[in-house]
């Protein structure tokens, strides 16, 4: 009997699939509540209507179960990045760091979560890789995306550093903030070279570049809980997702 876990990781434009956005938001909120966190800026739902938000969703092969997700926001003239709203009361210099002139040149990877049942599976690392891979696809398609920020919890900081993110020490306390609660510390990190990934570990860089070259692929990921069969689709559109889930 094959007990190997099989999942799908897909990326879609938020405004094309509001139903899936709601599932993402519900799962994210439930995970935050399980840790005693009632509200963070990345958990609100204003992003549902932002045309520059892309959602990474991790689901069962049948599409009925959602295991986790992340979001990639592109800076634009109509919407602030979640980190701007989160940090502006803690350090006003965030408005200088991420200013209107950076519209569609920078972005944020945020809203990273997975269910407790998937803890220790390596899913967070897969989500981060997928978000960065999609950012690279944007560069080749139409955007001059140069950098990505992320506000990282202590338990994911090493994951984003492995992919090439570096601590942004120019704001906060050397890049750290008491957020989202006084007893929790978050670190602001920046990926300065979305295209070349010069600071990424070789293995991580290879996996990301593979997804950029072949955004639809199947592969076996080796995780702490064993091998996971993953179907990646970084270009799936919203209508296809809805048809697959509800037909």
- CATH number of domain containing 95: 3.40.630.30
What's the domain count of the chain? Answer: 1
Residues 6 or more apart whose CB falls under 8 angstroms from that of 50 comprise: 14, 15, 73, 76, 78, 79
For residue 222, report the phi and psi dihedrals to the nearest 5 degrees: -95, 115
Q: Please list the rounded mean pLDDT of every run of 10 residues in the chain (247 residues).
A: 78 90 86 66 78 91 86 93 93 92 91 78 84 86 88 92 96 94 92 94 95 94 85 71 36
Query: What pTM, to 2 d.p., does this model score?
Result: 0.88
> For residues 126 and 219, what is the distance between their CA atoms, to the nearest angstrom?
12
Domain that holds residue 14: 5-246
pLDDT at 177: 96
């Amino acid at each position: 009997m094959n007990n190997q876990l099989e999942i799908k990781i897909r990326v879609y434009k938020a405004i094309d699939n509001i139903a899936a956005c709601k599932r993402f938001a519900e799962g994210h909120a439930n995970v935050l509540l399980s840790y005693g966190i009632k509200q963070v800026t990345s958990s609100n739902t204003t992003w549902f209507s932002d045309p520059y938000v892309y959602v990474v969703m991790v689901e069962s092969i049948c599409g009925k179960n959602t295991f986790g997700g992340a979001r990639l926001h592109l800076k634009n003239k109509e919407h602030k990045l979640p980190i701007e709203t989160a940090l502006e009361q803690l350090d006003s210099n965030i408005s200088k760091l991420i200013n209107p002139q950076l519209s569609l040149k920078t972005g944020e990877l945020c809203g990273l979560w997975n269910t407790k049942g998937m803890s220790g599976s390596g899913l967070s690392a897969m989500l981060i890789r997928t978000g960065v891979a999609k950012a690279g696809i944007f560069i080749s398609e139409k955007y001059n995306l140069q950098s990505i920020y992320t506000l990282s919890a202590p338990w994911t900081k090493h994951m984003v550093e492995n992919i090439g993110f570096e601590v942004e020490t120019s704001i906060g306390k050397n890049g750290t903030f008491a957020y989202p609660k006084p007893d929790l510390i978050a670190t602001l990190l920046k990926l300065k070279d979305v295209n070349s990934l010069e600071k990424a570990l070789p293995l991580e860089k290879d996996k990301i570049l593979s997804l950029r070259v072949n955004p639809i692929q199947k592969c076996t990921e080796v995780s702490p809980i064993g091998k996971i069969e993953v179907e990646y689709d970084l270009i799936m559109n919203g209508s296809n997702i809805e048809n697959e889930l509800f037909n």
